[in-house]
A and B are shown apart, each in its own frame.
Chain A
Amino acid sequence: MIDFELISFIIIASIMIISAIMVLRSREVVHSAMFLALTFVMVGCTYILLNAEYIALVQIIIYAGAVTVLMLFAIMLTKRKIMDHHPDEKEVNTFFELMASCILVFLILISILAPVFCPETYKETFDRELTSPGSTSDLGSLIVQEYMIPFIIVGIFLAVAILGGVFLAREKEED
């Protein structure tokens, strides 16, 4: 019968790839940001297909919700005029662009499809039993039990980053 999972994966992946390409190719910077948000959302949907719903939700909250707005703020702060079009940008030479993308795609495909061509090298990876910690509570217990130290280190990094940001953006005292 119809395998809905396969169909949805094809749709989601194609939208993801197309919007990723549009991020690079659109003329207007804000359009790139919009397509980037679309890419993030599609990545979240992929996570749902892989039964990792917590990661999917967090992906949408953080990436599509906050990181894209961060990028837009950065765009707004650096551009001098709003809605400035740059008609005099030179187009990148199409041949070299295609060439570079094809090489990159080829390399990625090789690394992804490697297990298909050389199954013996990757045997252990695939024979390990997949205990899928998809549910939130399993993920939570993993984090605070097995991966506690990385969690604390990541927290310290975030705190340092916030403090640095606040320090850099403070109001300069007038002398």
Chain B
Amino acid sequence: MTFYEFIRGIIVAILTWLGDGVTWIVLQINWQPLTGFAGWVGGIIMSEPSINLLTILSGIITVFLIIFINLIMMMWFELKLFARFYHGRGPTEVGYAGLLQNIAHGIKLFMKELIIPKKVDKWAYLIAPIIYIGTSFAVFVAIPWTEGFYLGRKDLAGGFLIVFAIFSMAPFLIFISGWASNNKFSLIGGIRSATQMISYEIPLLLSVVGVILLAHSLSLTEIVGAQSQTLGILPVWFLLLQPLGALLFFTAAVAELERIPFDLPEAEAELVEGWKTEYGGLRFGLIMFTEWARAFAGCSLFVLLFLGGWQGPLMETSLFGMDLGPIIGLVWFFIKVYIVFGVMVWVRASFPRVRIDQLLRVCWNTLLPLGLINIFLTVMVITLLSGFGVTYAIGFALGSFFLMVLLLFVRPEVEPLPPEGTLTSGGKKERTPALRTLVLKPLWVTMKHLFRRPATLMYPYETLKKPHTTAYYPVTKKIARVYEDGVFGVPDIWRNYRGAIGLDVDACISCGLCGRICPNRCITYVEFPGRDKNKKVPRVDFGVCMFCGLCAEYCPKGCIFLTSEYDLSAFDRNDLIYGPEKLSMFRGLKPETRFPERARELPSWEISKCIGCQLCSRRCPTGAITMIDSAIYIEKYGITWDETKKRPKSLPEFTGDKCVSCGTCAEVCPRRVITMDTPDSKGGIDK
């Protein structure tokens, strides 16, 4: 039973049921014109062409829905797998394990404004992407997923060519979109894209010719049917019979689908988004969506042509007399498509981008000759070994394998590479690459990463340190895991951490040193209740603070310190100014960082300039400066005072033990009498 008959049966059943209902209603009403009209309409709907049309339409809608859901799964699969290759986790937030991430992307794009830039060519700009999206989905008309999956009444005889014809519309449309965007970069991107796509269509076709020769048909269903021989338990798929063709097809498909390593037209680092740059909102979303639809089509083609399509074990089961073969075939088909897609993601994670001229060089110099060689070999082997059945398959496989191994170690060189350590000669000519170093090593490295634990820390569900106050911690879920030693087990990285500033108000002597030493001037002084009005305490503006730690280092009493708290975010900038009460909150987190002993700088007075204003003694926080009557002072220290100058009433005396080197006296002295001296000095007066 084919897909068409299946849908047709459903449609006929639905229509009959509806028809019976409507007929009953009309007969109840029993009004002649209405009955005639209803009869005429019913005749038209239930007629052959109309049922065909309805069947085809429903078939298309069903297929489209299946593709849609499948694409969302594929996008999730790619993101997760790709993340595994680079040691990460992929999306995990939206939905269980990130399954709804792409739906969230779609909704986000849906809500964005559709901007049409000013000077674009409106018709081309609007129509070209629509046709591009349309053709990418129209390809699925000709791709069967299981046996009997025809959207029409019978199989399309030119199956593969139809897919290819619809694919080949794409370069033209991309060119038009890039040109219509009125943007130099889009134009360059569009031109590059179109060139790449057109060039790679040729190896794509050539690599399939071998398969068509072996299967004697263009129809995809028959190609799959031709792969049903088995060699013992090993199914003889065309991957074994045509390894070179499979490799060529895979490479050309990756290039057609514009994936890394061939995605220069849309490389971020060069042209932002290439021809898609000027499209926004849902238009852009749909274009990105079709990239995956094309990827799905490409992978399905590979599976159908080389991997045996929907064939696999358990194909002959039947349930309640109904043959389950097609359904199981469907399951196998999708599994294989996902495996091929996984290989494409693997390739994406391992290789850098190829430059556009190198890309084209690979196509014309390497892939095209290989395609022709493949055809030649295929024809030769078929004519020589025909009639031997499976033996010819073995011969074929061996021959192609030998050829591939040969090619892996041969590289067609334009110019030999200079040995390492010598000057290159201007370096303008490049070589075509050899397949061996191209593929093996990087793939091996990324493959190893698939089996390692990801290195991503899922903050805030896994943190490196428990925060001390959850009141300031904007977490909505319980913290699941705390890695005290970091993710790789580093010893005690929090001991010296320079996080939020904490204050011990009782120990503060209001020396003002922290505010003076701060490079960004983020510490100001405010009054604190319970303290003398002149003994102000610091207030820190965390919006400016750069957590350098100089205030903590220079504080003489160690009353201001840096804790290991790091979460200080707030919604309002003014909430970031922490007054002394808020700073005292971190009192319990005082670390045991030991700073080395610093050279003490002590003040010294050039006493002849002093005017006795007493500011230094009044402002000194520790009381190291006292004012003595000037007569006693002169006698005590034996200073000769210049009698022409007015002698001040009292002069400052300095006791070095109490001094904390805060430098307040030097700052406030109006006549710059005081200098903070070199470390060898003892301070005091400077005669």
Contact = CB atoms under 8 A, between A and B. Distances in A.
Q: Do chains A and B touch in the complex (CB under 8 A)?
A: yes
Interface of A: 1-2, 4, 28, 30-31, 33-34, 37, 53-54, 57-58, 60-61, 64-66, 68-69, 72-73, 76, 82-83, 135-136
Given A30-B176, A34-B176, A82-B179, A65 B158 contact: no
B124 interface: yes
Interface string B158-193: 100110111011011001100110101001000100
A83 B182 contact: yes
A83 B172 contact: no
Nearest to A28: B121
B169 A53 contact: no
B246 interface: no
A53 B158 contact: yes
B168 A61 contact: yes
A30 B169 contact: no
A2 B49 CA distance: 9
B408 interface: no
A54 B218 CA distance: 10
Contact of A135 (B157, B175, B180, B191): B157
Nearest to A38: B131
Question: Interface residues of B toward A: which range?
Answer: 20 to 34
Contacts of A136: 157-158, 218
11 contacts: A2-B49, A30-B121, A30-B124, A31-B123, A54-B158, A60-B169, A61-B164, A69-B194, A76-B187, A82-B179, A83-B119
B616 to A, nearest CB: 76
Contacts of B124: 30-31, 34
Interface string B191-210: 10010001001000000000
A53 B157 contact: yes
A173 to B, nearest CB: 12
A111 to B, nearest CB: 31
A69 B157 contact: no
Contacts of B123: 31
B350 to A, nearest CB: 31
Nearest to B205: A61
Contact of B165 (A2, A37, A65): A65
Contacts of B164: 57, 61
Given A65-B201, A66-B198, A72-B175, 19 more contacts: A30-B180, A31-B121, A31-B123, A33-B176, A37-B172, A60-B166, A61-B161, A61-B165, A64-B168, A65-B168, A65-B172, A69-B175, A69-B198, A72-B172, A72-B176, A72-B194, A76-B191, A83-B179, A135-B157
A163 B124 CA distance: 35
A64 B169 contact: yes
In the A-B complex, list the 7 residue pairs whose CB atoms are closest, starting with the nearest.
Answer: A65-B168, A60-B165, A57-B161, A57-B165, A61-B165, A61-B168, A68-B172
A4 B194 contact: no
A136 B159 CA distance: 11
A103 B165 CA distance: 37
Nearest to A26: B123
Nearest to B217: A137
Contacts of A135: 157
Nearest to B212: A136
A65 B169 contact: yes
Q: Which of B161, B162, B166 has the most CB of A within 10 A?
A: B161
Q: Which of B124, B168, B201 has the most CB of A within 10 A?
A: B168
Contacts of B218: 136
Contact of B172 (A2, A54, A69): A69
A57 B121 contact: no
Interface in B120-137: 121, 123-124
A82 B187 contact: yes
Nearest to A134: B157
A73 B164 CA distance: 22
A19 B182 CA distance: 25
Contacts of B165: 57, 60-61, 65
B642 to A, nearest CB: 86
A30 B171 contact: no
Contacts of A57: 158, 161-162, 164-165
A69 B157 CA distance: 28
Contacts of B201: 65
A104 B457 CA distance: 76
B223 to A, nearest CB: 14
Nearest to A83: B182
A65 B171 contact: yes
A76 B180 CA distance: 12
Contact of B49 (A4, A33, A65, A68): A4
A60 B49 contact: no
B161 A54 contact: yes
A167 B521 CA distance: 71
Nearest to A2: B49
B525 to A, nearest CB: 64
Contacts of A60: 165-166, 168-169
Contacts of A73: 191
B355 to A, nearest CB: 16
Nearest to B162: A57
B49 to A, nearest CB: 7
A68 B173 CA distance: 10
Nearest to B194: A69
Contacts of B158: 53-54, 57, 136
Contacts of B121: 28, 30-31, 83
Nearest to B364: A166
Nearest to A37: B172
A69 B171 contact: yes
A2 B166 CA distance: 29
A136 B156 CA distance: 12
